Every structure is written in structure tokens, then in C-alpha cells.
Amino acid sequence: MQAIFETIFDIIYLSTVVFLGVKMIMGSKGRRQYFLFGVMAVVLGFGDAFHLVPRAIALCTTGLEDYTTALGIGKLITSVTMTLFYVLLYYVWRRRYQIPGERGLTVAVWALAISRILLCLMPQNRWLSAAPPLSWGIYRNIPFLLLGLLIIWIFYQSAKQKEDYEFRFLWLTIVLSFGFYIPVVLFADTIPAIGALMVPKTCAYVWTVLIGYQAMQREC
């Protein structure tokens, strides 16, 4: 039952975000914010596919333990692409609200993103192991969480100040995604049922993409 549910859910998720991303890229018509939003959605979908596709195959065949290497590589790629997702979202914010300057903020975003990626690339993560260390799962997620909090704050503040109806809940989608993600990082190894939180976490990302797509459609 788990294999069927996860596989169907992942197919719908990946197809939806990539489809909407391509639609935004093709329909942006020179509007840079929607082009970036589309690229962001495609990066999200293709990045997650490196982990979700091997996982679906494993669940539908001989089990996760026989796909440790593929799943580990997929998690690494997903970790990097998720970081790029937030960097692109930062530039969506700059375009949508016409933010000039802010060099310090840009440096902070890139510093956190690069720190996260470098930590993900460290061999101590043991991505190819069946039992990677929890400590490094925490280390690499510290800059990621800080990056997320930064993006939450700037979208919340700007949407409120500009009375941006279309993007008024975007900050909330990121809050929800991290709210569901952090318990998985901390407790999934000891309480496997916690892993189910990845479903609402994924739905929060779909909501993020839908916000951009619907805003573009209304502005056509």
C-alpha cells in the first residue's frame, strides 16, 4: 500500500511542478520574476526526481536497502537543488518588489547557500551509507534553515508593506515546508512514522509554485 501511494503521489507531484514551471517559463513574456519562478519550479522538480524516482522503484521492487547508493546520491542532489530553489526565490523577491541594492542581504543569501552546499559535499555525510550520521544531517541544515528564515522574513515583510494579495501567503508555504521537514531530519531514523511528514512538506512546495503560476495567470 505504501509503495502504491508514494509512487502515485510522487508522479503527481513531480509532473505538476515541472509542468507549471515550464508553463511559467514559456508564458513569462519578458516578465523576469515569472521566468525565474518557472526555472525555480523546474529545478525543484528535476532535483527531487533524483531521490523520489529511485525511492519509488525501490519500494515497488526489492526494498530501500537494495538502493542505498542511488538513494544517497539522490538525497545529495536534492539537497543542492533545494538550496538553489531558495536562491532563485530570493531573486524572484528582488524582481517582484523592485528591490535595488541590498548588497549585504545578497551576500548573506549566497554565503548561506554556498555554506549549505559545501557542507552537503563533505564526505562525513556518508550519503552512500545505510546509516548516515545524524550530526551531519543537523550541520548541513543549519545554514539551510537560516536561509529559509531569511526568505520567510523578506516575503512576509514585502507582501505586507506592498499589500501584495497574490503573494500574501508565500511566506507561510515556506514556514510549513520547514515545519514539516525539521522533525524528519531530527527523528525519522528513530521514529520512522515521522517520515510521513514529507507528504505535507511536499504539498507546501506545490503551493509555493501554484502561487507564482496563479499570479502570472491573473496578470496576463
pLDDT in tens, 168-191: 999 999 999 999 999 998 888 788
Range of the domain at 177: 2-218
24: its cell numbers: 511559467
pLDDT at residue 29, as a whole number: 87
- Residue 8: CATH number of its domain: 1.20.1070.10
Determine the Cα–Cα distance for residues 218 and 220; give it in Å rounded to an integer.
6
Task: Tell whether the torsion through CA atoms of 107, 112, 114 and 118 is positive or negative.
Answer: positive
Is 0.85 topped by the overall pTM?
yes
30: its cell numbers: 519578458
Degrees, nearest 5: CA angle 67-70-75: 115
* Spans of the chain, pLDDT less than 50: none
Determine the Cα–Cα distance for residues 73 and 45; give it in Å rounded to an integer.
16
pLDDT at residue 220, as a whole number: 66
DSSP 133: -
pLDDT in tens, 61-71: 888 888 899 99
Domain count, the chain: 1
Residues above pLDDT 70, as percent of the chain = 100
DSSP 24: H
